[in-house]
Amino acid sequence: MKKLIALLAAGSIAATITSLAATSQDVTKVAPDTSTVVFENAYVRVVRAHFEPGAREGSHTHPAGWYYVTRGGVLAVTGADGKTENWAPETGHSEWSNGEDAHTTHNVSNAPMEYLLVEVKAAPTQFPNR
């Protein structure tokens, strides 16, 4: 009986890990034509997202981080619930994001759009901070 319970528990844990991996998709793996890593270390990963007109990205998520729009435009962002909203930031716009659930993107403007995303992995504080 103990072996059966241990086996069921292990299967449940494996299913949970598989489910989380399936719902958390790295944008650089899903859309390498639009999103590329330009810097990465133990603390952050910097992703350059460049969308030519009509470019699309498959379903992906984002961890918490900060972004800076280097070329404004309009992206149609569709969530897992099927709702679509247009995101139309201007060049120079920046903002903190607490992370993004699964979504797809599509450049619906007639011009390229681009931003840098700084994804936070860990940020140790050291004192004194000089």
Query: 49, exposed or middle or buried, with CB in 10 Å at 0-12, 13-18, 19+?
Result: buried
Q: Answer yes or no: is 70 within a domain.
A: yes
Q: What is the pLDDT of residues 23-40, one digit of tens each?
A: 569 999 999 999 999 999
Q: Answer yes or no: is 115 within a domain.
A: yes
Q: Answer yes or no: is 54 within a domain.
A: yes
What is the pLDDT at residue 23? 52
- What is the DSSP track for 45-62? EEEEEEE-TT-EEEEEEE
Q: Name the residue with higher pLDDT: 77 or 2.
A: 77
Query: What are the two backbone dihedrals, phi and then psi, of residue 90, each rounded to the nearest 5 degrees?
Result: -90, 160
Considering the entire predicted model, what is its pTM?
A: 0.76
Q: What share of the chain is helix, strand, coil (3-state, %, to 5)?
A: 20, 45, 35
Q: Answer yes or no: is 21 within a domain.
A: no
In the block, residue with structure tokens 């498959």: 58
What is the pLDDT at residue 2? 57
On whether the CB atoms of residues 113 and 67 are closer than 8 A, the answer is no
Q: What is the pLDDT of residues 79-118, one digit of tens each?
A: 999 999 999 999 999 999 999 999 999 999 999 999 999 9
Residue-range definition of the domain harbouring residue 109? 26-120
Q: Please tell me the distance from the alpha carbon of residue 79 to that of residue 88, in angstroms, as a whole number.
A: 16
On whether the CB atoms of residues 98 and 64 are closer than 8 A, the answer is yes
Q: What is the pLDDT of residues 45-57, one digit of tens each?
A: 999 999 999 999 9
Q: Answer yes or no: is 129 within a domain.
A: no
The CATH number of whichever domain residue 108 belongs to comes to: 2.60.120.10
The tally of domains found in the chain comes to: 1
Q: Answer yes or no: is 93 within a domain.
A: yes
Q: Name the residue with higher pLDDT: 123 or 4.
A: 123
What is the pLDDT at residue 1? 53
